[in-house]
């Protein structure tokens, strides 16, 4: 039974994560008064990339080859810890939120190394900026997790289902997590996923040398990470425990609620991306400092039991 659950969770993530990305770009394009690409475009991209050959640089080593596998393995391992289907989560004995953060760090570490491996300035720049932003995200994220911990009693992701009401602390915490998700999933205002200008790209710069199947794997990993973050944020603001499906209509309501909460966050993300401009790298420190302050407020609210 456990195996079925795990496999279905993996399949769910692999299949549905590009859809989320396509959805967000569709909403963005609508806000920009364009028709834009179809929702299924990421799938088309991935299929195209899988069917193409690769060009690998001569200066690279085996790290370059192993990185896509490590990155997607870490993303999939993280997806098993995410709050998707059941509570307690299928792998709650394996790790908690902190373990999830460290698993993401594993993927990021290898991606940065692979970027340096190619020996071009693009890779070095992307790698340096990525490590810079991720290391500044860590304290804000940790403080937010701390506030969640104070509220839920444990950093185990299964415990995020414990409270039935949403307090000020969890709302502020969720906003902080949202901003952290912007940084982690490389969205405006931290990084632009649609650009290839060297002054503006961070995640794209690290994946510049990749092509073909490797690039497909890395893109997939990015989509999966994004979906994990969305699920986490959704669980905190819109906990699934508010509904208890007892009848068939209740089940429909439950399913509707399940999908709607992700959509709401996707819409908010799209609106944020469209409305603000990408920040300069050293303005990102101010942004992340603000997230730290939000985490601090969430902690204080959790201490005061507000």
Partner 1 sequence: MENLNFTLLFDPLGIFFILVILLISLPSAVYSLGYLKGEYSPAKITLGWFLLGFFILSMGLVVSVSNIFFFLIAWELMSLVSYFLVVFDTGHEKSIQAGTIYIVMTHLGSAFLVAAFMLLYQQAHSFDFTAIKNACLVMPGKTKNIIFLLLLVGFGTKAGIVPLHIWLPYAHPQAPSHISSIMSGVMIKTAIYGIIRFTIFILGVNSWWWGVLILVLATITCLVGVIYALMERDLKRLLAYSSVENIGMIFLGVGLTMLFISLKLPYLAVLALVAALYHLINHAIFKGLLFLCAGSLYKATGTRDIEKLGGLIKKMPQTAICFLLGAMAISALPPLNGFASEWLMLQAFFLGAFKLTGGMKLFLGICASMLALTSGLVAACFVKAFGITFLAQPRSHYAQEAKEAPLSMRAGMFFLAFLTVIFGIGACFIIKLLAKVASAAMNIDISGMNFALNNFTLGLKSGKEVYLSTPVIALLLIGLALAVFIVYRLFNRRKTSLYQTWDCGYYKITPRNEYTATAFSKPFRLAFSFFLLPYRKTQKIRESFYQVKSFAYETYTTPVFKKYVYQPLLAWVLGSAKFMRRIQPGSIHLYLAYIFFVLLLLIIFMPKF
Give the Cα separation of 146 and 167 in Å (integer): 15
Tell me how far, at minimum, the Cβ of 170 lies from partner 1, in Å. 16
The distance of closest approach from Cβ of residue 216 to partner 1 in the complex, given in angstroms and rounded to an integer, is 9
Q: Quote the DSSP letter at residue 59.
A: T
End-to-end CA distance of the chain: 40
Shortest gap between Cβ of 199 and partner 1 (angstroms)?
13
| Identity of the residue, 25 or 134, whose beta carbon is nearer to partner 1 in the bound complex | 134
Nearer to partner 1, 68 or 262 (CB): 68
- Look up residue 301 and give its DSSP letter: H
Closer to partner 1 by Cβ: residue 103 or 234: 103
H or E stretch covering 13: helix 2-31
Residues 6+ apart with CB under 8 A from 145: 97, 98, 101, 155
Tokens of 157: 């992701």
Q: How many CB atoms lie within 10 A of CB 2?
A: 8
Q: Which is nearer to partner 1, 61 or 275 (CB)?
A: 61
| Cβ 224 to partner 1 shortest distance, Å | 11
The DSSP code for 241 is G
Residue number, 12 or 146, with CB nearest to partner 1: 146
What the block records as the tokens of 64 is 């370059």
Nearer to partner 1 by C-beta: 41 or 154?
A: 154
Q: How far is the CB of 66 from partner 1 (least distance, A)?
A: 8
- As measured in angstroms, the least distance from the Cβ of 26 to partner 1 is 28
The angle subtended at Cα 204 by Cα 188 and Cα 175, nearest 5°, is 30
Nearest to 114 by CA among 106, 77, 300: 106
């Amino acid at each position: 039974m456990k195996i079925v659950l795990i496999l279905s969770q993996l399949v769910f993530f692999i299949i549905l994560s590009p859809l989320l990305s396509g959805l967000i770009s569709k909403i963005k394009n609508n806000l920009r008064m364009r028709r834009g690409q179809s929702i299924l475009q990421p799938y088309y991209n991935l299929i195209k990339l899988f069917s193409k050959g690769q060009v690998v640089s001569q200066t690279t080593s085996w790290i370059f080859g192993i990185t896509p596998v490590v990155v997607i393995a870490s993303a999939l391992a993280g997806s098993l810890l995410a709050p998707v289907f059941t509570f307690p989560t299928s792998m709650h004995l394996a790790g908690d939120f902190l373990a999830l953060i460290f698993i993401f760090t594993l993927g990021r570490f290898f991606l940065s190394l692979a970027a340096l491996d190619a020996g071009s300035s693009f890779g070095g720049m992307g790698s340096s900026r990525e490590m810079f932003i991720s290391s500044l995200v860590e304290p804000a994220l940790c403080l937010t997790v701390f506030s969640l911990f104070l509220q839920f009693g444990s950093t185990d992701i299964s415990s995020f289902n414990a409270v039935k009401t949403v307090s000020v602390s969890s709302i502020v915490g969720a906003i902080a997590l949202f901003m952290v998700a912007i940084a982690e999933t490389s969205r405006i205002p931290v990084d632009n996923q649609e650009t290839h200008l060297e002054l503006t790209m961070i995640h794209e710069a690290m994946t510049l040398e990749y092509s073909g199947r490797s690039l497909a794997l890395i893109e997939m990993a990015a989509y999966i990470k994004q979906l994990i973050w969305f699920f986490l944020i959704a669980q905190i603001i819109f906990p699934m425990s508010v509904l208890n499906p007892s009848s068939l209509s209740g089940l429909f309501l439950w399913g509707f609620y399940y999908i709607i909460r992700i959509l709401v966050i996707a819409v908010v993300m799209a609106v944020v991306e469209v409305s603000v401009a990408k920040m300069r790298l050293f303005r990102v420190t101010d942004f992340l400092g603000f997230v730290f302050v939000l985490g601090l407020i969430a902690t204080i609210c959790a201490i005061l039991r507000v």
